[in-house]
Structure formats: structure tokens, C-alpha cells
Amino acid sequence: MLAKQLLKKMYKDMVTIRYAEEILVEPITKGEVRCPVHLYSGQEAVAVGVGAVLARKDYVFGNHRSHGHYLVHGGTVRELFAEIYGKESGCAGGRGGSMHICAPESGFLGAAPIVGGTIALATGAALAASIRKDGRIAVSFFGDGATGEGAFYESLNFASLRKLPIIFVCENNLYATHMPLQDCRAANNIVATGKPFCIPSFREDGNDVLKVYELASKAAGLCRSGKGPVLLEFMTYRMRGHVGPDDNIQGCRTDIRPAREVAAWKSKDPICKLEKYLLLKKICSSGELKRIKEAVTRTVKEALKFAISGEYPDPKDLHKYVTKE
């Protein structure tokens, strides 16, 4: 069994991600949030389970759905919300919005909306760590849709050739935007894509944070001992739409995902699963869990107020961070 404090921290981190995502639903729906927002609700176990095995010095790269990765790897809810609202106090100075969040001071080197766009960047970071021999590892988070990009295969090949300390983490939520996995892949075999490149590859339940942690720990150990890279595929499911609270936010059909499928995955809620474990093993009482949720609720509400009351960047600073050649 994992240490009690680690288990409690993982629970708090998962609840923080969920509450932070869900409190944004109303502002997005009302149009108060103007940038596209890809909510991470339902996939919390992957970010938390992987993040729990990483050191602060390690490199993490996200994608368009990276609030969870950011919050686990050093980012704050206040700076996340401020960035989503386009405020100067945001983690990217209000210039990037939801899909360009970063916390470089703690190793989260950034997210980007280009599908598969950060996979090669993470591979480069792993190469730098290998050359420096500084003990760092890199982690690249991406969705199942990104496995259709050429950069993914190029990165696997190069990482394998150089034995780089990188963990490729595919969060397979079964849909590439609104396209079901079976409609865009000849086979449900993402985990097998590492085999031609001689990369150790594993698939696991992405809604079970304990299983995620165990597999991520194994992968990190391989990378730190010079036996990387490693490919991990976690089967999970987003509870919200591709972008925004639901799939109808873009005027699309509401029946894109079968109701029975959605209900089945909601019954596998990763937070509920961990709650049951903590109660069963008497690691936490129901009262403790309630207090954790109440504390997280206060933090998230305060962060939203902070973001709403913040100042927008001065228009005179439009070119402040633009590099001129």
C-alpha cells in the first residue's frame, strides 16, 4: 500500500482538478470566458498518477487539454484561471489562454493546441537531459488523435535510437475531437506502436490512479536507469465535450457519444473509485474527505474571484513578448 500522505495528496489533487474544471462550466456557457477551453474532467487519474512519480526538476509537456497536467506539476489555480480570463496575472501574462499554459519554474514547459505539437519538443528536452546527464526525465502527454501525426512516430524512432529518458503518455479517451477511435484507426492498437521501435509499451486503466501510479513508477524507473524511452497508453474518458462543457457547444449533434457509453464511463469516475478505496482501507474517514472537498472548494472559488477581478494586459504592451529579428 502507498503511504497515506501520498494517497491523500493524490485525492486532493484529483478533486482540485475536477472542481477547477467544473466551476468554469457556467462562465464558459455564459460567454464570460472567450478563449476555447478543453475541460479535463474524467481524466484526472492520469495526470495525478503520473505526476506523483515525477521530481520537480523533470520536464513535462502538455497538449490542448492540459489543465490537469499544469496543476499537478506546479501550476496554481489562481494563475490558471487568470490566464483563461486573459488577465495579466495569468501564468502566460494573459496572452495565451487555456491552451498555452505553462509553469517553467516547476518543470511544466508548456502546452499547445497543435495536435502532437509538443511530442517532439519533449523528445528534445529528453535529449538535452541525456547529453547533460542530469538525471531528469521528460514526459509527453497527448491524446489518441495525436498518434495519427507523423511527429509521433519520428519522435518514437529518435528517442529509441538515442535511448532517451522520456515517457510518452497517451491519454486514450476514445475520441479524436468528435471522431470515434474505430473510425480513424484500422485497429485499437496504440500500445502496439512502440513495438517496431523496440520501445517498452504498456496499456492500463486510466481511471484507476493507483494503477496509473504503479505503471508510471515502473516507466520512470526504466528511464532513470537508462532503459528508456517508454510508451504508456491509459484508457480513460472525458466527461465533458471536446471543447467547452458539452459536444453541442459548437453547434454539433448532442448524440455524438451514445448515452449508454457516457453513463458507463461515468460509473467508473476516477475520483469515486479512489474515494471507495480510501474508505475501505480506512485511510480517510468520510469526514476527512468532506473537509478536503470543502478546502478545495474555497481555494477554487477564491481563485475564480481573483481572475475575474484582475487587470487585463495594457494594450501598449501588445509587442512586449514578441521577439524582433
- Among the residue ranges 34-38, 114-118, 243-247, 252-256, the one predicted with the least confidence is 252-256
Strand partners, 201: 231
Q: Grid coordinates standing for 249?
A: 457547444
Q: According to the model, what pLDDT value does residue 207 have?
A: 98
- Among the residue ranges 54-68, 82-96, 241-255, the one predicted with the least confidence is 241-255
State what percent of residues in the chain have pLDDT above 90: 85
Q: In terms of pLDDT, which residue wins out, 257 or 139? A: 139
The number of folded domains in the chain is 1
Confidence of residue 254 (pLDDT cuts 50, 70, 90): low
State what percent of residues in the chain have pLDDT above 70: 97
Q: In terms of pLDDT, which residue wins out, 241 or 270? A: 270
Q: Closest Cα partner for 10 from 179, 200, 208?
A: 208
Q: According to the model, what pLDDT value does residue 305 have?
A: 98
Q: According to the model, what pLDDT value does residue 253 have?
A: 55
Q: Closest Cα partner for 7 from 198, 262, 269, 288?
A: 288
Residue at 325 is within a domain: no
Task: Find the mean pLDDT for residues 11-22.
Answer: 98
Q: In terms of pLDDT, which residue wins out, 317 or 276? A: 276
Confidence of residue 282 (pLDDT cuts 50, 70, 90): very high
- Among the residue ranges 132-141, 191-200, 206-215, 250-259, the one predicted with the least confidence is 250-259
Residue at 36 is within a domain: yes
pLDDT tens readout for residues 208-217: 999 999 999 9
Q: What is the mean pLDDT of the chain?
A: 94
Instruction: Check: CB of residue 137 under 8 Å from CB of residue 224.
Output: yes
For residue 187, what are the domain limits?
Answer: 4-317
- Among the residue ranges 73-82, 137-146, 241-250, the one predicted with the least confidence is 241-250
Confidence of residue 323 (pLDDT cuts 50, 70, 90): confident
Instruction: Check: CB of residue 18 under 8 Å from CB of residue 296.
Output: no
Confidence of residue 255 (pLDDT cuts 50, 70, 90): low
Cα–Cα distance for residue pair 232/202, rounded to 1 Å: 5
Confidence of residue 177 (pLDDT cuts 50, 70, 90): confident
Residue at 62 is within a domain: yes
Question: Which conformational region is residue 31 in: left (phi greater than 0), alpha (psi within -120 to 50 degrees), or beta?
Answer: left
Neighbouring CB atoms inside 10 A of 134's CB total 10
pTM over 0.85: yes
Residue at 150 is within a domain: yes
Q: According to the model, what pLDDT value does residue 248 have?
A: 61
Residue at 323 is within a domain: no
Residue at 322 is within a domain: no
Residue at 266 is within a domain: yes
pLDDT tens readout for residues 101-117: 999 999 999 999 999 99
Question: Which conformational region is residue 285 in: left (phi greater than 0), alpha (psi within -120 to 50 degrees), or beta?
Answer: beta
Is residue 148 over pLDDT 80?
yes
Q: According to the model, what pLDDT value does residue 3 have?
A: 93
**CATH code of the domain containing 222:** 3.40.50.970
Residue at 21 is within a domain: yes
- Among the residue ranges 51-65, 143-157, 177-191, 239-253, the one predicted with the least confidence is 239-253
